[in-house]
Structure 1
């Protein structure tokens, strides 16, 4: 079966056509299973229909033969038919007549899921490996060692344009696909702890006019805000990440900036560790934690920095529990596509 997978994010949208007929349970597609693909900037599209039209124009092969389209969208899904993403200026509505207007590509049956459901499905093989010699298509990086509890829930947390969270539940053994519980926990208020952090919270509130939620702190926009708070310079998130990765600070910067970059890295790592810790405690995800999303994938130092581990394991009551939770980083930019394709292979409609 051919599955057209789509990962619709606040910054970029990716499409790929996969041949999933040979998939075994819990195996993500391999690179050779991908038949064609396209990547588009989400911000440059006027509507969901416009995005599909542009994808078809870029790569007509995407829509010529799929038996199923799996849409993984960064927002809460309602009734399996509609999603209003908080970081995209348009909604996904499968009942929109514009999807069937002249000039639109023909659509196969569609499954609409939250983007972190797809991220969790991509982690299935690593969560329960039954093919030890299989290639690591997710490009995993071990962040913290631990001792996972068998059959315990597994957390997936990731910073991109926003902050995503979900919980992967162990298979029940009745032949049904694994369950994933999506979350909008990235929109909960962020927990700051001291006066300096409170000053940053006031800075974020002043420049956004919004409640200071996780989406504004542990995310690409959060990295931009943190850099501006510490340096007074407003840069795009990718440029901040590049500076953190290389230590470069530009010809016009003063001699103290390398130290400032180190402080920014430490702060962001601490914030990232804190939100991961809180989610693991809230869900008792003792089976482990996967970190996904483009921010840490592009700059692994944001989670390998000692401040991440210190914040993740900091607890007056459950430090021993947290020390046992292994943490791994998903570095593949295609994780959402791979997970969406696997979801389609395991949830193919029977009618």
Structure 2
């Protein structure tokens, strides 16, 4: 039996887990959650992992860390936080058996694991979502026998503290290539004058001339949207609880904006195998993606692309451990391909 230790570090929370791998079967053993604000560097991150899981990093067969920010090989920085990680500076990390990946690379991998298979189907055709890994956890397999869904590109988006997006490409022989992105930081497309008025209001509140998709769909943007529509200034979590859990103007505006971003990402990545929507906002407030407004915005396209969009299944990931499963999948791939000796892993 082999053991894989994983961390999924977001702007607000950091999740840890230990997985066992035996006979190509992943089993989730234990999880823990701490606040991300306490973490500043790789040493503090790995110390927290060891303390919360009561397992030394050196004993692991593989260690995988996902970071909500840009990652360049062994280094990465949390976009919405102080944490900077350089794997080379962490002596405790097993040489050649430690991966640092963008957090939505983990979420892309997670579409191949139980949380991705059990995700709620919300739009488009229901296709089979067969797992790429065996698991001891129960999972609901999608209906149908469309094996092509397991050999077509997949994409993932998710709004929480930040806005993440990635895709997953099949490269033959059952292998997958993750393609991370920073699509959450591209300019958001506002349309008619009513939306332009909100854009100007948002720019004033943020104190910046440029509005990204993350500025609109996450964190302060959610609070500012609700304030613009109601005059009430609430924390993002309060907005979710009070305004995204039922039919309100805030829900309708947010669902329209989220549907527009998802549509753009679907067209950009041609994810015929499916789009998965993760992140804390939609998971805690499913109406964001099940409301008629979301679907109307998702399919507000020209005749040339509407049929393409309508043939892409869309799923909502409700399992908050999905990133951990994606990290475990990456660790399993590392062990299967390179064993214990490879020092540079092209993932």
User: So what's the TM-score if we normalise by structure 2?
Assistant: 0.84
Maintained 8 Å contact 1:190/1:214:
yes
Deviation at 1:139, TM superposition (A): 4.2
Deviation at 1:246, TM superposition (A): 4.8
Q: Cα 1:7–1:204, aligned 2, differ >3 Å: closer, same or farther?
A: same
Range 317-326 or range 303-312, more displaced: 317-326
In the alignment, the residues of structure 2 paired with residue 235 and residue 340 of structure 1 have an alpha-carbon distance, to the nearest angstrom, of 34
In the alignment, the residues of structure 1 paired with residue 227 and residue 219 of structure 2 have an alpha-carbon distance, to the nearest angstrom, of 13
Q: CA RMSD in A?
A: 2.1
Alignment partner for residue 91 of structure 1, among 84, 88, 95? 84
Q: Cα 1:241–1:2, aligned 2, differ >3 Å: closer, same or farther?
A: same
Q: How does 1:237-276 map to 2 (within 5 A)?
A: 237-247=236-246, 262-276=248-262
In the alignment, the residues of structure 1 paired with residue 203 and residue 52 of structure 2 have an alpha-carbon distance, to the nearest angstrom, of 40
In the alignment, the residues of structure 2 paired with residue 114 and residue 136 of structure 1 have an alpha-carbon distance, to the nearest angstrom, of 18
Match of 1:50 in 2: 44
The SS at the match of 2:165 is: strand
Match of 1:338 in 2: 325
Q: Does 1:68 align with 2:45?
A: no
Structure 1 residues without counterparts, runs of 5 or longer: 101-105, 126-134, 248-260
CA shift digits 1:104-139 (9 cap, x unpaired)? xx33231111111111111014xxxxxxxxx76764
The SS at the match of 1:205 is: helix
Range 8-17 or range 34-43, more displaced: 34-43
Give the number of aligned pairs.
312
Match of 1:22 in 2: 23
Q: Does 1:142 align with 2:136?
A: no
Alignment partner for residue 113 of structure 1, among 72, 76, 101? 101
The SS at the match of 2:187 is: coil
User: So what's the TM-score if we normalise by structure 1?
Assistant: 0.83
In the alignment, the residues of structure 1 paired with residue 249 and residue 24 of structure 2 have an alpha-carbon distance, to the nearest angstrom, of 45
Q: Cα 1:138–1:228, aligned 2, differ >3 Å: closer, same or farther?
A: farther
Maintained 8 Å contact 2:7/2:66:
yes
Maintained 8 Å contact 2:245/2:287:
no
Match of 1:39 in 2: 33
Structure 2 residues without counterparts, runs of 5 or longer: 128-147, 342-347
Alignment partner for residue 59 of structure 1, among 49, 53, 56? 53
CA shift digits 1:206-264 (9 cap, x unpaired)? 122232101111224332221122122222211111113555xxxxxxxxxxxxx6110
